[in-house]
Amino acid sequence: MKPRVIGWDIGGAHVKAVMLDEQGQVVRVLQLPCALWKGLPLLEEAIEQVLRRWQIAPDACQHAVTMTGELVDLFENRLQGVRAIALTVQRDLPHATFYMASAMQGARFTAQVVGLETHVASMNWHASAQCLATILADHAILVVDIGSTTSDISYCDQQQVLAAGWTDAERMANQSLLYTGVVRTPLMALGPSIGWSPSGQADSQMRHIAAEYFATAADVYRLLGELSPSHDLADTADGQGRSARETMRRLARMVGHDVEDHDDRTWHALAAAFKSTQLQALQLAIEAAISRAHNPPMRIVGLGAGSFLVAQLAQTLQIAYQPASAFIAAGDAELNIEAEVCFPAYAVARLWQAWH
């Protein structure tokens, strides 16, 4: 049997943790908001809160860590961010090791990050893809993770992650990393215009989108009933509530209206139009990844808070779809679903057990 291990995914807006027992089964999952740009004490608080809620001492199990939080503007650059996060984690979590990956050295865990910062920084996408590539060893697959803030598209074949780029800059240039998600994305980022008709007619009109932080993707998917409340953790754009009326008020501002100008169906149609615009961008990126692939992917595996969009995209592209939850052993269905949303944390825990 393997030791118990907690996988940690330390982002700029959330901390995600998944605990595996000695048999590799998920027994705990927790996602906490953590606005890391406001300071490292918030990360310490989040780590302590996870351990406190689970009633476990930090040295009672192993800890496998991946991160993207080094990107926040608290740090001057990624190197500084990786080191600062690692020092914070090592102070609070004995036995912590960090997931690293590179084109030359492959993937492994390291206890020290100095000199390896570029291989540790923002590798949670690789951990997820490597975990699934290992499980689906005989198939070429496309791993699509649509999260709260970003989307990652990774092609895998023969148990390898065949990365189109290793740095964020490289991956953004080839659309394997998109800054678009289902919670924190400002709707103005989907602009500059959107096809929508306030009259409810079938023929939409192109409308200019306000370049203001009036609403976010969470408003779209909350109003459409597709975003789970447990994943709707970010502050709203105006700091107000999450009721349907408040949500529609924010959406209306994106096209210069007040919510009172039209009925509820009109604002639902606007939300659907924003969703369609985001889906189009994601579909183009997935098609680009498929065009680069040596072998056509046999299936798309979806994960993240926006995995419901991956399923819809796979259907549009007529490619077989499987949720990442299908490959997670968990004590109950709820844990299974939550581990899929926190899949990078699950992946580093599972890979740690497999490699030790």
Q: Tell me if 150 is assigned to some domain.
A: no
Alpha-helix runs per DSSP H in 230-294 = 244-253, 264-292
Judged against a pLDDT cut of 90, whether residue 197 lies above it is answered with no
| pLDDT category of residue 198 using cuts at 50, 70 and 90 | confident
In terms of residue numbers, what domain contains 334? 5-137+329-355
**What mean pLDDT is predicted for residues 91-97?**
94
Q: Could you tell me if 15 and 127 lie in one domain?
A: yes
243-276 pLDDT tens trace: 999 999 999 999 999 999 999 999 999 999 999 9
Q: Tell me if 273 is assigned to some domain.
A: yes
Q: Tell me if 131 is assigned to some domain.
A: yes
Judged against a pLDDT cut of 80, whether residue 201 lies above it is answered with no
Given 243, 262, 281, the domain boundary residue is 281
CB 117 within 8 A of CB 78: yes
CB 29 within 8 A of CB 338: yes
Judged against a pLDDT cut of 90, whether residue 204 lies above it is answered with no
What pLDDT is recorded for position 306?
98
**What mean pLDDT is predicted for residues 193-215?**
86
| pLDDT category of residue 205 using cuts at 50, 70 and 90 | confident
Judged against a pLDDT cut of 80, whether residue 297 lies above it is answered with yes
105-163 pLDDT tens trace: 899 999 999 999 999 999 999 999 999 999 998 889 999 999 999 999 999 999 999 99
Judged against a pLDDT cut of 70, whether residue 326 lies above it is answered with yes
Q: Are strands 193-196 and 205-208 parallel, antiparallel or unpaired?
A: antiparallel
Q: Tell me if 207 is assigned to some domain.
A: yes
Number of domains in the chain: 2
pTM: 0.96
Other CB atoms within 10 A of residue 158 CB:
12
Counted residue by residue, the chain has a size of: 356
Q: Could you tell me if 40 and 109 lie in one domain?
A: yes
What pLDDT is recorded for position 331?
85
